[in-house]
Structure 1
C-alpha cells in the first residue's frame, strides 16, 4: 500500500508491453525536441514553430528552454499590435489550461507574467480580469504557494493602476485582508494565507496612519493601533491552536505575533507585553494538558511554543541562562520529537538561540 492505494503487480508480459509503449513515447519526445531545436537554430519564427512548442510544453511544462523559444516566436508578431494583442491573449488561455493541470510549475507562472507585461507595454492589460483568474485558481488549490505569490503580484499591479488614489489602494488591501480571514477560517493549516496576512497587516496599518485623511470605517478601526490587531488575531488563532495543535502554520503565525517588533513596539510598557505572553502560555498549557489526557504525552507543538514564549519572557527580564522549566521542556522534546533531537540538545547547551 502507498498513500492508501494498493500496489498492483504486473505480469512479465504486461511489463514488456508497458516498456514498449514507454519507448515509443520517449522516441517521439526526443524526435520532437530535436525538431524544435533545429527550428530554433535556423531562427524559424512562425505559426508552425509556435504549434510545435505547444506540443512539447503539453508533455513537459518544465522545459524552460521551450518557453524561451516560444517568447522569441511571439515577439515576431509585435509589429502589428492588433495581431500581437490577440496572440498574447490566446497564449494566456493556453497557459491557463496548463496551470489547471500543473498548478505548481514555476515556468508556467513565469510565462504568464511575461505575457501580462507584454500587454502592459501595448496598453492592453486587464488586471481585474487577471485577479478573477487567480482567485478561481486558488479555489481549486487554496494552499498553492505559487498561486498566492502570483496573487500578490497581481494586486501590486492593481495598486500601480490606482496611482495616488489612496482610498482605492486601502480598499484593495482591506479586501485582501478579509480574503485571508475567510481562507484561514476555512482551513487553519493554510500557511500561505497566514503568510499573506502577515504581509498585509503592517502595510494596511501604515497606509491608515501615514494618511490621516482616509475615511474611517469598521474595517479600518481594527488597525487604529497594533494592540487591537494583536488581540484580534490572538483570539482568531486560539481556535486553530485548540483544533490543530500539531499544525505548524498556526504556531509560526503565533510566534510572529508575539515577537515581531511591529507588535512589541506597540505596547505601552514591558508589563503589558509580559501579561500577553503569560496569557498565551496559559492557553497553550491548557491545550497541552488536554493532549496529554488523550495521548498520554506532551504535544510537540505546544511544548515547543511553551519553550519559545518562556524564552521571550526571559529576554524581557534580561536573563541569559535557561531556566529549569525550559531545560526540562527541551529534555522532553528530545524524547517525543527524536527527528529534531540534536537541535534541542544544542539549545540545551546554549549553542542555538530559541527565539
Structure 2
C-alpha cells in the first residue's frame, strides 16, 4: 500500500511465523474432524456444543457446524431446560453472533442463526414472562441491527434482517417511524440503495392503509428524489427508486413532467448516462401507452429523440452498444 512502510522480517521470524501458522492449521483441522465425527455419530452432548463455539469463532462461514449447533440445542439442550433457562441459552447464542458480526458483518449464516434464535424464544410460565422475553429480545435485535447499519449503512444483510425483526416484533413499530429512519439514512448518503428499497416497502404499506395521503406523499417523494438526482446524477440507486415512483407510466402528465425535469438535468450534465437512459425509458412508455393523446408531430419527435439518445449512449458506453441498437430498432417499430 502507498505510504505504508514495508517491514523486513528476518529468516528466523518468517520461519517462526510459518510454524505458528502450521500449528494453527493443524489444530483447526483436528477440531473440524472431531466435530464432524461427532455430528456423524449423533453426539448431542454439551462438550460437542462447546466445540462448535470454538470452531465458529475461527470460521463463522462453516454452515454445517451452525446446523449441528442448532441440532444440539433443539434435540438435547432445550428439551432439558426450563423456559427461563432456554431463554438464557438463546440470549447467549445471540451474544455469540453479535461478537462474530463485529468482524464478519456480511456472513449470511450468522444472521440466519440469529433469526433461528428469535424464532425459538419460548413461552414463559406466565404471559408477562413471555411478553417480557420477546420484547427484550426483539428490542435488542433492533438495537444491534441499527448499530450494524451505523457502521455500514449499505449492508443488505442487515437491512434484510431489520425487515424480519420489524415484521415479527410482538408490538409492531409504526411505519412512520421506519419512514423517518430511512430518511435519516438517505440524507446521510443518497447512494444507499438498501435504504431506498426499504423506503419503497414502507411507503407501499402506508399508502395501502391510507395512513398518509398517497397523492401528497408521492409528490414529496418526487421532490426528495429530484434533490438526490441533482446531487449525484451518476448514482444508480436514485434512478431505480425514481422508476419505482413513476411506475408503469399510466399517467401521461406525470411522465411528461418527469421527462422535463430529467431533460433540465441533462442540459447541465450532458454526459449523464442515467439521464439519457431514463429519458429513453419514460419516452418509450409514452409511445407505448399514450399515443392517442399526442399532438400532431409529437410521436415522430419522441421517436427521433429516443434514437438520438440511444446513439449517444452507444458512443458513451460502447460495451452496451448492441443493446442500445436493439432498443432503437424496437422504438422505431413502435412508430410504424
Identify the match of residue 259 of structure 1 among 243, 247, 267: 247
Contact 1:77 1:83 in 2 (8 A): no
Q: Secondary structure at the match of 1:310?
A: helix
**TM-score, reference length from structure 2:** 0.84
Check if 1:125 corresponds to 2:134: yes
Identify the match of residue 135 of structure 1 among 135, 146, 152: 146
State the 1:107 CA deviation: 0.4
Q: Which sits farther off after the overlay, 234-243 or 26-35?
A: 26-35
Identify the match of residue 320 of structure 2 among 323, 340, 354: 340
Give the alignment of 1:208-223 within 5 angstroms.
Answer: 208=210, 220=211, 223=212
Q: Secondary structure at the match of 1:350?
A: helix
> Which residue does the alignment assign to 2:127?
none
> Which residue does the alignment assign to 1:71?
70
How many angstroms apart in 1 are the aligned matches of 2:16 and 2:232? 47
How many angstroms apart in 2 are the aligned matches of 1:331 and 1:16? 61
Cα deviation, 1:220-279, whole Å, max 9, x if unaligned, reads 4xx22x322221101001111011111000000001111248xx4xxxxxxxx3332222
Structure 2: which 5+ runs fail to align?
125-129, 293-298
Q: Secondary structure at the match of 1:125?
A: helix
Contact 1:130 1:154 in 2 (8 A): yes
Distance change in 2, residues 1:11/1:245 (3 Å) = same
State the 1:121 CA deviation: 5.5
Q: Secondary structure at the match of 1:188?
A: coil
State the 1:8 CA deviation: 5.9
Check if 1:316 corresponds to 2:289: yes
How many angstroms apart in 1 are the aligned matches of 2:322 and 2:162? 38
> Which residue does the alignment assign to 1:45?
44
Contact 1:184 1:190 in 2 (8 A): yes
Distance change in 2, residues 1:232/1:39 (3 Å) = same
Contact 2:87 2:122 in 1 (8 A): no
How many angstroms apart in 1 are the aligned matches of 2:114 and 2:243? 35
Cα deviation, 1:147-173, whole Å, max 9, x if unaligned, reads 111111111112xx34xxxxxx5x611
Contact 1:53 1:70 in 2 (8 A): yes
How many angstroms apart in 1 are the aligned matches of 2:3 and 2:62? 30
Identify the match of residue 249 of structure 1 among 221, 233, 237: 237
> Which residue does the alignment assign to 2:219?
231
Q: Secondary structure at the match of 1:349?
A: helix
Identify the match of residue 284 of structure 1 among 245, 262, 269: 262
How many angstroms apart in 2 are the aligned matches of 1:344 and 1:100? 44
Contact 2:86 2:122 in 1 (8 A): no
Q: Give the aligned length.
A: 314
Distance change in 2, residues 1:285/1:9 (3 Å) = farther
Cα deviation, 1:200-239, whole Å, max 9, x if unaligned, reads 112112223xxxxxxxxxxx4xx22x32222110100111
**TM-score, reference length from structure 1:** 0.79
Distance change in 2, residues 1:5/1:256 (3 Å) = farther
Check if 1:304 corresponds to 2:304: no
Contact 1:258 1:277 in 2 (8 A): yes
Distance change in 2, residues 1:254/1:12 (3 Å) = farther
> Which residue does the alignment assign to 1:215?
none
Structure 1: which 5+ runs fail to align?
163-168, 209-219, 265-272, 293-297
